[in-house]
């Protein structure tokens, strides 16, 4: 049985809050706070940044408070007992096992609903944070911190996707922490990845292409000397920001620079796994759609949708954009067929980005809502919405 989390209760009391007061701040029942402090339940990962802010501590400190008195989960790598110097023994084998578990979780992102992965991600972050705090200096500590930066970035990605790209603050909080860890490691590739994820929130969540452009260029400049992969991806998104701003010439230049960088990616790049043959077509299609060049966008998006079979959430976004390209050219049969395919993907993954694009495409089909094929696809979308 989990032991009581006395430190959590003490921190609440130090802030002058009763259990009722804390519950009111967070919008939960008092019984929920009671269970947290009793150790019989834990705050959901997306709740922890709000809890940390209310208690005046960092998300990392909240993780430590929740983990320290409950201990690691069964089957997880455990810390050895502290030595006389008080330092826990963390070996590279344990770190490698944690890295394997992270890789499995990250690989699940494009195949499963993000809400189903959040608890596992939060558990990994808790354990890694504890081990990093107790571990010795040296290679094991560095590997743990690099892994922590990756998990923080993934948690931001999961939270944002599970919230259907609405919870910008929590996602940014995770990405900001990842940037801090990356800077401590002097790892420009990790830092660039976290900055790039923050760029996505500005572009696709806040709908602020100017801020998104600034962050994309910052990510590209940060990773310029270490990772053509991150640099190329950042420039692709800089191109999309230019397209959203109607800056066609600057968009074309950014796309050309991005392609040059992506072609330089090799096995020595720590972020090489982020790059695929479909990346350029996906972003170029989105750019030309924003610029109103619908036929050109269609060609890129059709090719990409055919090739992109293993990344379902990304494919849904491509299909949604392709639907828009068809609608804006008056090709309603093609639009309905593509939208129907996108909905099939969404039924499996519930991807937040895909949901937003698909709902946007469905709105543009409203002038044809009295046609049977359009009514049928709207019915499918409504059924999806009621179960999302």
Q: Of the spans 77-81, 83-87, 139-143, which averages the highest pLDDT?
A: 139-143
CA gap 95, 353 in Å, rounded = 32
Residue 366 DSSP code: G
Predicted TM-score (pTM) of the model is: 0.79
CA gap 26, 360 in Å, rounded = 32
CA gap 195, 200 in Å, rounded = 9
Lowest mean pLDDT among 123-127, 155-159, 254-258, 357-361: 123-127
What integer pLDDT is reported at residue 72 of this predicted model? Answer: 46
What band does 388 get if pLDDT is binned at 50, 70 and 90?
low
Nearest to 76 by CA among 100, 55, 49: 100
CA gap 51, 125 in Å, rounded = 16
**Higher per-residue confidence, 355 vs 261:** 261
Q: What is the pLDDT of residues 315-370, one digit of tens each?
A: 999 999 999 999 999 999 999 999 999 999 888 888 888 888 999 999 999 999 88
138 token code pair: 């040296």
What band does 3 get if pLDDT is binned at 50, 70 and 90?
low
What band does 46 get if pLDDT is binned at 50, 70 and 90?
low
CA gap 169, 162 in Å, rounded = 13
CA gap 58, 51 in Å, rounded = 9
- 238, with CB counted inside 10 A (0-12, 13-18, 19+), is buried
What band does 306 get if pLDDT is binned at 50, 70 and 90?
very high
Nearest to 61 by CA among 135, 141, 137, 7: 7
pLDDT (average), residues 213-221: 98
**Higher per-residue confidence, 144 vs 311:** 144
CA gap 281, 297 in Å, rounded = 9
Hey, is 351 helix, strand or coil? coil
- For residue 61, what are the contacts with CB-CB under 8 A and spacing of at least 6? 52
Nearest to 115 by CA among 160, 153, 162: 162
- 276, with CB counted inside 10 A (0-12, 13-18, 19+), is middle
User: Taking the CB of residue 385, how many other CB atoms lie within 10 A of it?
Assistant: 12
Hey, is 244 helix, strand or coil? helix
CA gap 355, 365 in Å, rounded = 15
Statement: residue 75 has pLDDT above 50 = no
- For residue 144, what are the contacts with CB-CB under 8 A and spacing of at least 6? 90, 95, 98, 128, 131, 132, 135
Q: What is the pLDDT of residues 153-172, one digit of tens each?
A: 999 999 999 888 888 988 99
CA gap 176, 159 in Å, rounded = 14
**Higher per-residue confidence, 45 vs 307:** 307
What band does 88 get if pLDDT is binned at 50, 70 and 90?
very low
What integer pLDDT is reported at residue 60 of this predicted model? Answer: 62
CA gap 128, 134 in Å, rounded = 10
What band does 211 get if pLDDT is binned at 50, 70 and 90?
very high
Statement: residue 84 has pLDDT above 80 = no
What integer pLDDT is reported at residue 67 of this predicted model? Answer: 58
pLDDT (average), residues 224-244: 97
CA gap 20, 30 in Å, rounded = 5
Hey, is 135 helix, strand or coil? coil
Lowest mean pLDDT among 107-121, 273-287, 293-307, 315-329: 107-121
pLDDT (average), residues 98-106: 93
What band does 387 get if pLDDT is binned at 50, 70 and 90?
low
378 token code pair: 């709207």
What integer pLDDT is reported at residue 151 of this predicted model? Answer: 96
């Amino acid at each position: 049985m989990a032991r009581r989390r006395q430190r959590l209760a003490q921190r609440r009391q130090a802030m002058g809050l009763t259990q009722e007061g804390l519950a009111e701040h967070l919008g939960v029942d008092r019984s929920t706070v009671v269970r947290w402090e009793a150790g019989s339940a834990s705050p959901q990962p997306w709740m922890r940044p709000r809890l940390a802010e209310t208690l005046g501590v960092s998300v990392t400190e909240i993780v430590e408070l929740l983990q320290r008195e409950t201990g690691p989960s069964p089957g997880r790598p455990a810390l050895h007992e502290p030595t006389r110097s008080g330092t826990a023994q963390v070996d590279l084998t344990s770190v490698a096992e944690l890295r394997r578990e992270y890789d499995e979780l990250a690989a699940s992102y494009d195949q499963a609903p993000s809400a189903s992965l959040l608890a596992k991600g939060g558990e990994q972050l808790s354990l890694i944070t504890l081990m990093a705090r107790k571990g010795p200096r040296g290679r094991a500590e560095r590997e743990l911190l690099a892994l922590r930066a990756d998990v923080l970035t993934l948690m931001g990605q999961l939270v944002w996707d599970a919230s259907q790209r609405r919870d910008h603050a929590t996602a940014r909080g995770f990405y900001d922490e990842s940037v801090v860890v990356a800077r401590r490691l002097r790892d420009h590739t990790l830092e660039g990845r976290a900055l790039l994820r923050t760029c996505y929130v500005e572009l696709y969540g806040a709908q602020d292409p100017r801020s998104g452009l600034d962050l994309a260029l910052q990510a590209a400049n940060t990773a310029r000397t270490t990772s053509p992969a991150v640099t190329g991806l950042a420039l692709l998104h800089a191109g999309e920001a230019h397209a959203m701003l109607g800056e066609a010439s600057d968009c074309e230049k950014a796309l050309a620079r991005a392609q040059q960088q992506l072609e330089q990616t090799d096995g020595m790049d720590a972020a090489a796994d982020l790059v695929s043959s479909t990346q350029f077509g996906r972003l170029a299609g989105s750019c030309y759609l924003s610029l109103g060049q619908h036929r050109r966008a269609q060609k890129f998006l059709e090719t990409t949708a055919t090739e992109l079979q293993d990344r379902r959430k990304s494919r849904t976004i491509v299909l949604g954009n392709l639907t828009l390209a068809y609608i804006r050219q008056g090709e309603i049969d093609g639009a309905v067929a593509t939208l129907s395919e996108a909905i099939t993907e969404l039924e499996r993954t519930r991807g937040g980005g895909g949901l937003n694009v698909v709902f946007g495409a469905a709105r543009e089909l409203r002038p044809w809502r009295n046609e049977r094929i359009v009514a049928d696809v709207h019915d499918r979308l409504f059924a999806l919405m009621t179960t999302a």
